[in-house]
Amino acid sequence: MHVHLYLLACTYCSSTPIPLCAQINAHLTERFPGEEWTCKSADAIDQGEPDESRVGEEVLNSFNGPGLPLHELQLKQNMPIMLLRNLDPTRGLCNGTRLLVLKVIHGRVLKAKIVTGAHEGKEVFIPRIRLSAEDGEFPFKWSRRQFPVRIGVCAQRARNPVHAAPCT
């Protein structure tokens, strides 16, 4: 069995604390063969928020939460990833879809292959999108522009059922 198929079969998705998942994924990313693409997010407090000028970008970059991609994604070819949002359910791009990274195009578009479900084998393009933290999670509203994916070895389940609609 290929290593990437083994990793996909063994994806651990639970209530494991985010820092522990991040450590597991970072360790496996480091050991995963191939060239690495580092994709950093663009984080900002929403305009009109009272704390807009008091919170630095480096503080926002440090925030992580369920349903949000990391500020800094390290991706490699054939690395398993998991989609965090429903982008196009009719084409198999919904929350929880597992994919393999094919390449990152100019830091703006992620080319990947779906490896589970009815759309298995289909190559897709995933743009960076604006994602917001869940209401009440932080004392202010902020957003992150990033690929809506996490490394697909260890991931925490989203608590918001809106992001977990089934794929068709």
The tokens 């292959």 sit on which residue? 113
Average of per-residue pLDDT across 31-58: 83
Strand partners, 12: 154
Alpha-carbon gap, residue 114 to 121, rounded angstroms: 5
pTM > 0.75: yes or no: yes
Give residue 31's pLDDT: 83
Give residue 162's pLDDT: 45
Q: What angle do CA 57, 160, 89 make, to 5 degrees?
A: 100
Query: What rounded mean pLDDT belongs to the chain?
Result: 80
Give residue 81's pLDDT: 92
Task: Categorize the per-residue pLDDT at 151 as very low, low, confident or very high, splitting at 50, 70 and 90.
Answer: confident
Give residue 85's pLDDT: 92
